[in-house]
Amino acid sequence: AQSVTQPDIHITVSEGASLELRCNYSYGATPYLFWYVQSPGQGLQLLLKYFSGDTLVQGIKGFEAEFKRSQSSFNLRKPSVHWSDAAEYFCAVGARNNNDMRFGAGTRLTVKP
């Protein structure tokens, strides 16, 4: 079955600085890949997804992610972080033959003023 590793449990960045959250996946074929954000007490909101085609994917709130097959990675980036971006971020991988989506353990983002 597919799996996801998010190596960073907690990241702190200054407001206005750039951000990169790491995600590595394990799957035998080209997977579906997702990034979700979860604010305290809220459900999961989809930031972006990769199914096929262009490996650089644009999402909401100024986020982007790049699928790198050779590295089995799908890292999330944002050029300038805002205080409102502080939240928990989850990478997820889905199989292409069913709706079985597996989540990573998450990365908690703290934004310093």
Instruction: Verify binding: residue 98, other proteins, rule CB under 8 A.
Output: yes
Residue 71 C-beta: closest distance to other proteins, Å: 21
Instruction: Verify binding: residue 96, other proteins, rule CB under 8 A.
Output: yes
Beta strand 44-50 with 56-58 is unpaired
Give how far Cα 24 sits from Cα of 15, 42, 107, Å. Answer: 26, 25, 13
Identity of the residue, 3 or 18, whose beta carbon is nearer to other proteins in the bound complex: 3
- Which residues make up the interface to other proteins (CB under 8 A)? 4, 32, 34, 36, 41-46, 49, 51, 90, 92, 94, 96, 98-106
